[in-house]
Structure 1
């Protein structure tokens, strides 16, 4: 029996890149028999405000292998991917960005590894065309930091471009937390994983929607949604400061007994107070981040809402 592979394509204001993406997706669908599979394409639009939805709708109506899901507003890429996974009914699913920086032509290579028995075949970036040195460096630092804090092994320098076996898709559907870090969840579910290296292309048109403030927020959300390590770090810093303060107090007592009353300087006292105040505010901020996430989770709101879809496939959970 010929397996079906569902391509999940999240979109958000991608009007400029879609014509080129359509051509490459059409070529991939036509190559299905050569790849010994049948491709289907599922677009998930995350509240675009340009002409993306019109282009996607027109494309899907002319192709029997294409469907779309339009979310009611911008919920974020993490939720858009979940909406796609909820509706992916193929034997395997592949997440592909609409900007085509992750070449869909590499899916044939993923399929070969999948047929060897691997459940999660992920692409690791060897190079990243069109990105600045600063962005590449900070991305590498983020993955190293997340790996150091995570309770499970995190694959470095990988994005969402990967092939997931059906049982991986079903496992991810069961994880319904509101604050999602899908890259970490890929690792958390386990199963047999295999990486391969590739060169990430530059965008064919348009510009990235991820500016540095958004990336910083994404990094913070990714860490605090998946690991409690920042809370432990705050506790360790507090303990270290307390030990240093106790040691310094002992030093002052000994010095006073040996040399007489010594009035410390105003500047040193002010620095110590500012330092301790900063540590306390940092710890409170970390605690606040986790409390905010608990506040969001206990509401049990849907992860996303659908405005329109062309497929009759039902969602696999809260939607």
Structure 2
């Protein structure tokens, strides 16, 4: 039985169409944390699932007072689901864990040791990614290295959402209310003492991944545009270099014409130059549009999410609001 003087730990689990994974997930988490010197409870966040995950969560919560849940009014996306969970988590530390069990809950013991030593953000560093295609591994590795170079915010390489956050880190994250959310960047932005713990990521225990390559591409754009203005600067530099090259080329053509009477090149070269410059301009406009679209979303000031239903774990007194 948990000692009332023990610190508390909330395991936050975003859920989207994970009805097949839940029967494996809950017993393994509680078994892994049975001897952890903390009062442990789970907070499941249903992100508009359509496979019965929400009903299954409610059933689990009815049978075990250590389990609470939030059901979002629709599918808002994983980043918002995590934010909703962090808004309502009531514990000395919060662990974010995916429902597919690719991240081992047994590693939370190692996280806990670093937390007790004073770390506010203990994150898992993936040394391998079982069950994923070669292309996904390569693109994921490339993305983390690109954003690491482009962003001033420290975003550790090869890390996901699997981490432990102290109460003060969670309270800091609650203050960040932007609508376009890249949580891996926000975790790094709040600062505080951090440390990485290497581990091998396993294959999914059940079901299939909800991220296809198109969603991953958009997720990468979200991360880059949320934490870097380098694309805008790049457009400026490319435009300046192109203009300089065009000026030099024009000067050469004029000089040769004056010196040798050489006729100006005709239609093919003109079309190549026009298409090249037009393409550069469209790329630059696209970059500007990405940032402008995010400003438009932020200006509407809508709540991040709305709740359809909620139940706090029996051993906490957390307040479950209907939206934020």
Q: Verify same fold: TM over 0.5.
A: yes
- RMSD (Å) for aligned C-alpha atoms: 1.4
1:277 matched to which residue of 2?
A: 278
**Residue 10 in 1 paired to residue 30 in 2?**
no
2:26 matched to which residue of 1?
A: 22
The answer to whether the 8 A contact 2:307-2:322 is kept is no
The answer to whether the 8 A contact 2:308-2:322 is kept is no
The answer to whether the 8 A contact 1:173-1:316 is kept is no
2:235 matched to which residue of 1?
A: 234
The answer to whether the 8 A contact 1:86-1:314 is kept is no
Q: TM-score, normalised by structure 1?
A: 0.96
Distance between the aligned counterparts of 1:70 and 1:226, measured in 2?
A: 29
Q: CA deviation at 1:262?
A: 1.7
The answer to whether the 8 A contact 1:93-1:164 is kept is yes
Distance between the aligned counterparts of 1:206 and 1:159, measured in 2?
A: 19
Q: TM-score, normalised by structure 2?
A: 0.95
1:107 matched to which residue of 2?
A: 108
Distance between the aligned counterparts of 1:317 and 1:252, measured in 2?
A: 68
Q: CA deviation at 1:226?
A: 2.1
Q: CA deviation at 1:73?
A: 0.1
Q: How many residues align?
A: 316
1:263 matched to which residue of 2?
A: 264
Distance between the aligned counterparts of 2:11 and 2:321, measured in 1?
A: 17
| Structure 1 residue ranges, 4+ long, deviating more than 4 angstroms after superposition | 315-318
Q: CA deviation at 1:51?
A: 1.2
Alignment of 1:55-74 (within 5 A): 55-74=56-75
The answer to whether the 8 A contact 2:161-2:184 is kept is yes
2:175 matched to which residue of 1?
A: 174
SS of alignment partner, residue 12 of structure 2: strand
**Residue 202 in 1 paired to residue 200 in 2?**
no
Distance between the aligned counterparts of 1:98 and 1:317, measured in 2?
A: 23
Distance between the aligned counterparts of 1:165 and 1:277, measured in 2?
A: 50
What CA deviation, in whole Å up to 9, does each residue of 1:266-310 have, x standing for no partner? 222111110100010111111111111111101100000000001
Q: CA deviation at 1:229?
A: 1.5
What CA deviation, in whole Å up to 9, does each residue of 1:157-200 have, x standing for no partner? 00000000111000000000000011011111110010011000
Q: CA deviation at 1:243?
A: 0.8
Alignment of 1:132-151 (within 5 A): 132-151=133-152
The answer to whether the 8 A contact 1:86-1:317 is kept is no
Q: CA deviation at 1:265?
A: 3.1
SS of alignment partner, residue 227 of structure 2: coil
The answer to whether the 8 A contact 2:253-2:264 is kept is no
The answer to whether the 8 A contact 1:83-1:315 is kept is no
Q: Which sections of structure 2, spanning at least 5 residues, go unmatched?
A: none
Distance between the aligned counterparts of 1:229 and 1:7, measured in 2?
A: 36
2:217 matched to which residue of 1?
A: 216
